[in-house]
Amino acid sequence: MSDAPDDADRSVTVADREGHAGDPVRELALDCVVAGIEAAHPAGVVDDALALDGDRLTVAGVEDANTAHDDATAAYDLAAYDRVLVVGAGNAAGHFAAAVERLLGGRIAEGAVVTDDPVETERVAVLPGDHPTPSETGVESARRVRALTADAGADDLVIGLLTGGGSALLAAPADGIGLDDLRETTEALLASGATIDEINAVRKHLSAVKGGRLARAAAPADVLGLAISDVTGDDPAVIASGPLSPDPTTYADANAVLDRYGVDTPDAVTARLDRGAAGEVAETPETGDPAFDGVGVRIVASARTALNAAREVAAARGYDPLVLSSRVRGEAREAAKTHAAVGEECRAAGDPVAPPAVLLSAGEVTVTLGADPGEGGPNGEFALSAAAELDASGRDGEGIAVASVDTDGIDGATDAAGALIDDRLVGDGPEATLSRDAAAAALDEHDAYPLLDGADALVRTGPTGTNVNDLRAVVVGGRVAGSEASGSRSEGTK
- For 172-219, how does the pLDDT look when each residue is reduced to its tens digit (9 = 90+)? 999 999 999 999 999 999 989 899 999 999 999 999 999 999 999 999
Q: Note the pLDDT tens digit of each residue in 319-359.
A: 999 999 999 999 999 999 999 999 999 999 999 999 999 99
Q: Fold identical between 40-301 and 318-476?
A: no
Q: Of 119, 112, 114, 234, whose CA–CA distance to 171 is shortest?
A: 114
Strand partners, 273: none
| Residue 4 in this model has a pLDDT that exceeds 70 | no
Q: What is the pLDDT of residue 476?
A: 95
Q: Note the pLDDT tens digit of each residue in 401-417.
A: 999 999 999 999 899 99
Q: How many CA atoms lie within 13 A of 64 on its CB side?
A: 17
| Strands, sheet with 458-459, edge to edge from the N-terminal-most edge strand | 320-331, 357-366, 470-476, 400-406, 418-422, 458-459
- The number of beta carbons lying within 10 Å of the beta carbon of residue 11 is 12
Q: What average pLDDT does the segment 445-468 reach?
A: 96
- With b meaning 16 or more CB within 10 Å and e meaning fewer, what string describes 271-306? ebbeebbeeebebbbbeebebbebbbbbbbbbbbbb
Q: Are the CB atoms for 32 and 402 separated by under 8 Å?
A: no
Q: Are the CB atoms for 225 and 298 separated by under 8 Å?
A: yes
Distance from C-alpha of 187 to C-alpha of 53, rounded to nearest angstrom: 46
3-state secondary structure the chain: CCCCCCHHHHCCCCCCHHHHCCCHHHHHHHHHHHHHHHHCCHHHHHHHHEEEECCEEEEECCCECCCCECCCEEEEEHHHCCEEEEEEECCCHHHHHHHHHHHHHHHCCEEEEEECCCCCCCCEEEEECCCCCCCHHHHHHHHHHHHHHHCCCCCEEEEEEEECCHHHHCCCECCCCCHHHHHHHHHHHHHHCCCHHHHHHHHHCCECCCCCHHHHHHCCCEEEEEEECCCCCCCCCCHHHCCCCCCCCCHHHHHHHHHHHCCCCCHHHHHHHHHHHCCCCCCCCCCCCHHHCCEEEEEEECHHHHHHHHHHHHHHCCCEEEEEEEEEEEEHHHHHHHHHHHHHHHHHHCCCCCCCEEEEEEEEEECCCCCCCCCCCHHHHHHHHHHHHHHCCHHHHCCEEEEEEECCCCCCCCCCCEEEEECCCECCCCCCCECHHHHHHHHHCCCHHHHHHHCCCEECCCCCCCCCCEEEEEEECCCCCCCCCCCCCCCCCC
| Residue 69 in this model has a pLDDT that exceeds 80 | no
Distance from C-alpha of 206 to C-alpha of 266, rounded to nearest angstrom: 12
**Predicted structure pTM score:** 0.89
* Top-ranked range on mean pLDDT: pick from 61-70, 371-380, 444-453: 444-453
Q: What is the pLDDT of residue 132?
A: 87
Q: Note the pLDDT tens digit of each residue in 40-67.
A: 999 999 999 999 999 999 997 555 455 5
Distance from C-alpha of 171 to C-alpha of 341, rounded to nearest angstrom: 41
Q: Are the CB atoms for 304 and 327 separated by under 8 Å?
A: no
Q: Note the pLDDT tens digit of each residue in 70-90.
A: 445 799 999 999 999 999 999
Q: Are the CB atoms for 165 and 203 separated by under 8 Å?
A: no
- Give the architecture-level CATH label for domain 318-476: 3-Layer(aba) Sandwich (3.40)
Q: Of 228, 223, 222, 173, whose CA–CA distance to 202 is shortest?
A: 173
Q: Where are the domains of the chain?
A: 40-301, 318-476
Q: What is the pLDDT of residue 486?
A: 52
| Residue 7 in this model has a pLDDT that exceeds 70 | no
Cα 409 to the chain's mean position, in Å? 10
Q: Are the CB atoms for 365 and 330 separated by under 8 Å?
A: yes
Q: How confident is the model at residue 492 (pLDDT cuts 50, 70, 90)?
A: very low
| Residue 289 in this model has a pLDDT that exceeds 70 | yes
Q: What is the pLDDT of residue 494?
A: 35
CATH of 40-301, one of 3.40.50.10180, 3.90.76.10, 2.120.10.30, 3.30.70.3270: 3.40.50.10180
